[in-house]
Amino acid sequence: MMMSRYGTKVMVTAGPRLSSSRAVSPNCLLKSRVLARDFSKMTFEKKKKTEDNQSEKGSSGGKGDQGNKGEQLVVSYWGVKPMKITKDDGTEWKWSCFRPWETYKADLTIDLKKHHVPSTLPDKLAYWTVKSLRWPTDLFFQRRYGCRAMMLETVAAVPGMVGGMLVHCKSLRRFEQSGGWIKALLEEAENERMHLMTFMEVAKPNWYERALVIAVQGVFFNAYFLGYIISPKFAHRMVGYLEEEAIHSYTEFLKELDNGNIENVPAPAIAIDYWRLPADATLRDVVMVVRADEAHHRDVNHYASDIHYQGRELKEAPAPIGYH
Ligand SMILES: [Fe+2]
Ligand SMILES: [Fe+2]
């Protein structure tokens, strides 16, 4: 199911744009003074709101998301009043890390069993590299699937960004368009990062897990960067297999939830808004939509690899954008 626009009211409050005026006419000077006065007023409001906010601390804790911290501090960006965004029901949109038009309903009908059978040597290498990575992962996390999901999403969000960045640079170097692949790969990275933001709400990383993420990112980012430069078809194929593993991992997560080994807690608020889930959605619903996303990433990356296998460039085949 492709993305459809969220029917959300977006009210734009026009605000004065402040700019440095090079004009010297009396009218312009007067205008500058008025703008400067407006800005002073806004600064005062900002200070007052901060004070009010501080005096209310303790009673309003936990309201809104973490990304909205300091919201009261920023009433404008360079003199332009921010958009006031509301949901369908008229309540305020509380997330600053994503907006209503970036939300979507995951395609739960997507085929979860699709598998690219490795036939060439690079494909077999990609497949067995991924398979061999599963063993230490299983050993480290055992059946702690919440923690496992959170940690693996820190890795899963890297390839899309690296691939998108390299295709972007190639587009600049060659003075050519990308067929939408920059956007598609960056969408994947953003979507994976939202998976991470979601699982952060159900599993908090401890100090050694944070240290592990830093170490793994240092190695994986550079390895994938080099790998993508040498062979994008291998890099995309490997991500395709990683996504197949992610589907398996989330299927095991669901089994643990169904067996009662993991408590099926209410879905985090961020997940309810991002995937447009019902208000009473649970962790199981979240795992279902995340797994559907992984299946989509699998298809995108195997498709990208297939394009390279045909001796073509990504720009020659329109990218599957707009899913997220
Ligand atoms: Fe993911
Ligand atoms: Fe993924």
Name residues whose C-beta falls within 8 Å of residue 197's C-beta, 6 or more positions apart in sequence: 97, 270
If you measure from the C-alpha of residue 50 to the centroid of ligand 1, how many angstroms do you get, rounded to a whole number? 37
If you measure from the C-alpha of residue 287 to the centroid of ligand 2, how many angstroms do you get, rounded to a whole number? 12
Indicate the SS3 state at residue 259: helix
CB 28 within 8 Å of CB 21: yes
DSSP assignment letter at 97: S
If you measure from the C-alpha of residue 148 to the centroid of ligand 2, how many angstroms do you get, rounded to a whole number? 14
CB 79 within 8 Å of CB 39: yes
Q: What is the dihedral of CA 156, 161, 166, 171, to 10 degrees?
A: 130
pLDDT digits (tens, 9 = 90+) for 98-145: 999 899 999 999 999 999 999 999 999 999 999 998 888 888 887 788
Q: Which ligand is nearest to the CA of 239?
A: 2
pLDDT at 215: 94
Q: Which ligand is nearest to the CA of 154?
A: 1
Name residues whose C-beta falls within 8 Å of residue 2's C-beta, 6 or more positions apart in sequence: 322, 323
If you measure from the C-alpha of residue 321 to the centroid of ligand 2, how many angstroms do you get, rounded to a whole number? 15
Q: Which ligand is nearest to the CA of 188?
A: 2
If you measure from the C-alpha of residue 66 to the centroid of ligand 2, how many angstroms do you get, rounded to a whole number? 24
Rounded to whole angstroms, the Cα distance separating 213 from 154 reads 7
If you measure from the C-alpha of residue 311 to the centroid of ligand 1, how many angstroms do you get, rounded to a whole number? 29
- Residue 250 banded pLDDT, cuts 50, 70, 90: very high
Q: Which residues pair with 11 in a beta bridge?
A: 84
Q: Is the pLDDT of residue 219 over 90?
A: yes
Average pLDDT of the chain is: 81
Q: What share of residues in the chain are helix, strand, coil (percent, to 5)? A: 60, 5, 35
40 CB neighbour count, 10 Å cutoff: 10
If you measure from the C-alpha of residue 229 to the centroid of ligand 1, how many angstroms do you get, rounded to a whole number? 23
Give φ, ψ of 77 to 5 degrees. Answer: -115, 115
Q: Which ligand is nearest to the CA of 295?
A: 2
* pTM for this predicted structure: 0.77
**Which is more confident, 24 or 222?**
222
- Residue 23 banded pLDDT, cuts 50, 70, 90: very low
If you measure from the C-alpha of residue 8 to the centroid of ligand 1, how many angstroms do you get, rounded to a whole number? 26
If you measure from the C-alpha of residue 33 to the centroid of ligand 1, how many angstroms do you get, rounded to a whole number? 51
**Which is more confident, 207 or 1?**
207
From residue 90, how far is each of 76, 98, 260 by CA, in Å? 22, 18, 38
pLDDT at 68: 54
Rounded to whole angstroms, the Cα distance separating 170 from 164 reads 10
pLDDT at 59: 37
If you measure from the C-alpha of residue 62 to the centroid of ligand 1, how many angstroms do you get, rounded to a whole number? 26
Rounded to whole angstroms, the Cα distance separating 287 from 94 reads 23
Q: Is the pLDDT of residue 10 over 70?
A: no
pLDDT at 47: 44
pLDDT digits (tens, 9 = 90+) for 49-98: 444 444 444 333 334 444 455 555 666 777 887 778 888 788 889 898 89
CB 192 within 8 Å of CB 149: no
If you measure from the C-alpha of residue 199 to the centroid of ligand 2, how many angstroms do you get, rounded to a whole number? 14
- Residue 292 banded pLDDT, cuts 50, 70, 90: very high
pLDDT at 182: 97
If you measure from the C-alpha of residue 190 to the centroid of ligand 2, how many angstroms do you get, rounded to a whole number? 10
Name residues whose C-beta falls within 8 Å of residue 284's C-beta, 6 or more positions apart in sequence: 254, 257, 258, 264
Residue 65 tokens read as 């998301």
Q: Which ligand is nearest to the CA of 299?
A: 2
Q: Considering just the CA atoms, what is the radius of gyration of the chain in Å?
A: 23
**What domains can you pick out in the chain, each with its CATH number?**
121-316 (1.20.1260.140)
